[in-house]
């Protein structure tokens, strides 16, 4: 019998992880774009590391950090909170894996904004933050939207890190990718195929909608 709960949970996890990836991605992109300082290349390499590392490495790192003996786990344990094997852990894992996509898209978009426009705003009395939020960010919205869509799609399909820190608790932490793995392992290829098709169709729809919007924006600029 088909159970939509894993799909619903995946949508919930992706919806919660994407704002996290967006917020930290924008802050990181702002800090890195148009600036040169010692150690910048190292920082950028760290930011994109989750993109090139196997997701299980990210999951294992979170497992260590959030475990009882980890820095985060020990601190949370003092107030009676445990994040491992909860939907929150799935959100954190998905946000970390999606972060590089948001960061790279936002950074590229911000670097394409004419810096003289922000300088002009500051000459007219705007603060550095005000010029960023009112000038640079709106002008970079196409690239930022692309980052949001890619982050959501990546979060929706996250498996490796999620299964390590959230596990497989039916009705609680079993996301669609985990359900696909379990179904295939148990030989239920029909269920695995249905879930794969739904995830593929959803991500395809998101990407097609993004491409259509970008084409419209390009035509408007012309």
Prediction pTM value:
0.87
Q: Which CATH class is domain 5-221?
A: mainly alpha
Domain locations in the chain as residue ranges: 5-221
Residue 90: closest CA among 7, 201, 172, 192: 172
How would you class 182 by CB atoms within 10 Å of its CB: exposed for 0-12, middle for 13-18, buried for 19 or more?
middle
pLDDT digits (tens, 9 = 90+) for 150-200: 999 999 989 989 999 988 888 788 999 999 999 898 888 998 999 999 999
Cα angle at 72 between 70 and 73, to 5 degrees? 65
SS3 content of the chain, % helix, strand, coil (to 5): 75, 0, 25
User: Mean pLDDT throughout 97-122?
Assistant: 86
Maximum CA extent, the chain:
66
Distance CA 170, CA 100 (A): 30
Q: What is the CA radius of gyration of the chain?
A: 20
Question: Using 50, 70 and 90 to split pLDDT, how confident is the model at 1?
Answer: low
């Amino acid at each position: 019998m088909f159970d939509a709960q894993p799909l619903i949970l995946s949508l919930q996890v992706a919806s919660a992880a994407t704002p996290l990836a967006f917020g930290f991605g924008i802050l990181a992109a702002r800090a890195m774009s148009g600036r040169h300082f010692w150690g910048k290349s190292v920082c950028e390499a760290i930011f994109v590391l989750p993109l090139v590392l196997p997701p299980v490495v990210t999951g294992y790192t979170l497992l260590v950090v959030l475990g009882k003996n980890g820095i985060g786990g020990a601190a949370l344990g003092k107030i009676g909170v445990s994040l491992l094997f909860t939907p929150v852990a799935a959100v954190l894992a998905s946000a970390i894996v999606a972060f590089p996509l948001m960061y790279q898209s936002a950074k590229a978009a911000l670097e394409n904004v004419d810096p003289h426009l922000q300088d002009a705003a500051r000459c007219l009395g705007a603060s550095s933050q005000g010029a960023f939020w009112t000038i640079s960010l709106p002008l970079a919205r196409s690239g930022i939207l692309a980052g949001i869509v890619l982050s959501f799609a990546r979060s929706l399909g996250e498996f490796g890190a999620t299964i390590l820190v959230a596990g497989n608790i039916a009705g609680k932490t079993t996301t669609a990718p985990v359900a696909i793995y379990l179904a295939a392992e148990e030989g239920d290829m029909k269920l695995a195929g249905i879930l794969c098709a739904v995830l593929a169709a959803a991500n395809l729809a998101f990407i097609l909608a993004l491409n259509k919007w970008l084409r419209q924006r390009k035509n408007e600029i012309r």
